[in-house]
Amino acid sequence: MSSQKTALITGVNGMDGSHLADFLLNKGYVVYGMERRSSVKNRINTKHLESNDNFHFVIGDMSDSESLRNIVYLSHPDEVYNLAAQSFVGSSWAIPLETSDTNGLGVLRLLNAVKQYQEHNDKVVKFYQASTSEMFGLMEKGGSSANEQTVFLPRSPYGIAKLYAYWMVRNYRESYGLFACNGILFNHESERRGIEFVTRKISDAVARIHLGMQDKLLLGNLEVWRDWGYAPDYVEGMWLMLQQDTPSDYVLATNEAYSLEQFLDCAFKVVGLDWRDYVEQDERYMRPAEVPYLRGNYGLANDKLGWKPKTSFEELVEIMVNNDINLLRKD
Ligand code: G4F
């Protein structure tokens, strides 16, 4: 029998999905990447995988249990990484039912598919769930950073749906012995981030302003702080969780919080500008309930997995701004 491992990644076209696919292919895995059916393909982050013989796109949907079961049985995975989600917190008030279905019930559907497959095959399938710091919600600014024991106080339909999934993963681990882990990841960004997220919105705007294509940037609440890391560092943490002998839940973070104003300052400085000359606040980007402050303690991941973030805040901002300048220049 071949020792080559197989992984199934849901949400493969997203930022994390595409970085994880690259990471696993580099490790010699065969990778199945689940994407939704769409008349217009969304493969900006995964175009380069189309010609890789070890990579296969498969069509499925978190709302369709039949498709999830078929994909698990087709791919015979050793590891399943559930990264599919309605991932934009801001939209979760506009589409709370879809968010709850995809981010909450969808995870239960996938867990059931994996459990059933395991029961019919003599094989352990390890399961990773993309949990999130958004579940912590209301944290005290400047207080202790959140760890695996910190109370959850979610503030959005997104965070609440993710919390349901988090508990389902724990329940399937405790009830059925599934090797299932929650990675509680704090904000992590990269040049592949969707344009609606604030870091990419800023890096894109800075690049456009620098090239004379835009003259201002409209943002929502500037009084927010986040623990921002670099996504490629975090996908390694996901993989490490599934290489352990026993499953557990882990926080991945940098343990450093920066304000949105600090992000702006750093991003505009890359092109020698002052953000105050370009940024305006706009009510349309405010949320009905805000998570003002997030900071995570990755001590357990460091002790048990040997994981720590490798990329600094300043490096992250520079990577994103320079990438957007290069992309616009190419266009
Ligand atoms: O970039 P954001 O949209 O990320 P958010 O809401 O923190 O969610 C991200 O991190 C979570 C982990 O904590 C993930 F679970 C989730 O999937 C996603 O990856 O917004 C960051 C902050 C918010 O407080 C928001 O109100 O920036 C504030 N903000 C201010 N102006 C803005 C804007 N956010 C966006 N997207 N656009 C603005 O114009």
Instruction: Confirm or reject: Cβ of 89 under 6 Å from ligand 1.
Output: yes
Instruction: Confirm or reject: Cβ of 201 under 6 Å from ligand 1.
Output: yes
Q: pLDDT for 17-69, tens place per residue?
A: 999 999 999 999 999 999 999 988 899 999 999 999 999 999 999 999 999 99
For residue 179, the cross-strand partners are: 126
For residue 153, how far is its CA from the centre of ligand 1 (angstroms)?
A: 17
Q: pLDDT for 247-287, tens place per residue?
A: 999 999 999 999 999 999 999 999 999 999 999 999 999 99
Q: Tell me, what's the pLDDT at 2? A: 64
Residue 158 annotated as catalytic: yes
Q: pTM here? A: 0.97
Nearest CA to 169 out of 73, 80, 36, 236 is that of 80
Q: Which residues of the chain have pLDDT under 70?
A: 1-2
Instruction: Confirm or reject: Cβ of 221 under 6 Å from ligand 1.
Output: yes
Give me the catalytic one of 132, 150, 199, 311.
132
**94 burial level (CB within 10 Å; 0-12, 13-18, 19+):** exposed
Residue 134 annotated as catalytic: yes
Instruction: Confirm or reject: Cβ of 208 under 6 Å from ligand 1.
Output: no
The three-class DSSP label of residue 113 is helix
Give me the catalytic one of 128, 158, 166, 298.
158
Q: Which atom of ligand 1 is nearest to the CA of 162?
A: 15
Measured CA distances, 245 to 11, 127, 242, 256 (Å): 26, 13, 8, 30
Instruction: Confirm or reject: Cβ of 196 under 6 Å from ligand 1.
Output: yes
Instruction: Confirm or reject: Cβ of 292 under 6 Å from ligand 1.
Output: no
Q: Tell me, what's the pLDDT at 12? A: 98
Q: Which atom of ligand 1 is nearest to the CA of 189?
A: 19
For residue 197, how far is its CA from the centre of ligand 1 (angstroms)?
A: 6
**Nearest C-alpha to atom 15 of ligand 1 is from which residue?**
132
**Which H or E run contains 252?**
strand 250-252
Residue 32 annotated as catalytic: no
Find the distance separating the first CA and the last CA of the chain, reported in whole Å.
Answer: 47
